[in-house]
Amino acid sequence: MILNPKERLIFALDVSSLKEVKRWVSLLKDHIEIFKVGKELFTACGPKVVDIIHNAGGEVFLDLKFHDIPNTVAKAGVVAAKLGVKMFNVHTLGGVNMMEAVRKSVDKACGKQRKPIILGVTILTSMDEKAIKQVGIQGPIRKRVLHLAGLAKKAGLDGVVASPLEVEKIKKKLGKDFITLTPGIRLSDSKPDDQSRTMTTGEAIRAGADYIVVGRPIREAKDPVEAARKILEEMEKCP
């Protein structure tokens, strides 16, 4: 996958009002092409936020992590596709049947029109070995992530959401064309937060990440535009 840095950097719109959406999109649209819309924002504002981003010339990563019975997730996926989002995700723990159902339903609904990239969420980047054991998943995490990524590919998904720590092994096992999107990106001087499995921008890109999601390092910077520029410059330097 050959993309320029602007196409690969995704800004996490972790806000809760349309006013904030308009401010951030207006501020960053010349530097960032894709904006992540998650549960907080979509619950607060609904599909209007997608329209705002599209009207500003941006693209949307709809990060709602669908996880339900196959029919329900398939219908949700079709609605997401009709919104015109560039990509959305589902939980791989929903199983192969669920992932296959959403893939087939979206392909049928889109026909010859542009199809959204469908990604499978593996293990959340906030979880460590202790956390996955508490919910009954036996580690090590990297092995579990690789297994879930394999199920996603078997089901016909385009790629997975995984921590940057697992990207290299996913690419090696499932192929360079299998998309990897990585949250948990932090700058070298970022303060600790609720993410456990993280890397810097350069480390993630060199590991093979196709897309990276950055939120707080840009949003909490004194100069968010300059922070975005520095991230893009670091991406540009990576082989």
Please give the pLDDT value at position 75.
98
Residue type, 10: I
pLDDT tens, 87-134? 999 999 999 999 999 999 999 999 989 999 999 999 888 888 888 889
Number of structural domains found in the chain: 1
Q: Which domain covers residue 28, as residue numbers?
A: 5-237
Q: Which of 103-112, 146-155, 172-181, 203-212 has the lowest mean pLDDT?
A: 203-212
Q: Is the pLDDT of residue 235 over 50?
A: yes
What is the chain's mean pLDDT, rounded? Answer: 92
Average pLDDT over residues 46-52: 97
Whether 36 is a known active-site residue: answer no
91 in Cβ contact with 66 (< 8 Å): yes
Please give the pLDDT value at position 197.
47
Catalytic-labelled residue, pool 22, 29, 65, 172: 65
Q: Which of 63-67, 115-119, 182-186 has the lowest mean pLDDT?
A: 182-186
72 in Cβ contact with 97 (< 8 Å): no
State if pTM tops 0.85.
yes
Give the per-residue SS3 of the chain: CCCCHHHHEEEECCCCCHHHHHHHHHHHCCCCCEEEECHHHHHHHCCHHHHHHHHCCCEEEEEEEECCCHHHHHHHHHHHHHCCCCEEEEEHHHCHHHHHHHHHHHHHHHCCCCCCEEEEECCCCCCCHHHHHHCCCCCCHHHHHHHHHHHHHHCCCCEEECCHHHHHHHHHHHCCCCEEEECCECCCCCCCCCCCCCECHHHHHHHCCCEEEECHHHHCCCCHHHHHHHHHHHHHHCC
Please give the pLDDT value at position 188.
59
CATH of the domain at 210: 3.20.20.70
Q: Is the pLDDT of residue 14 over 80?
A: yes
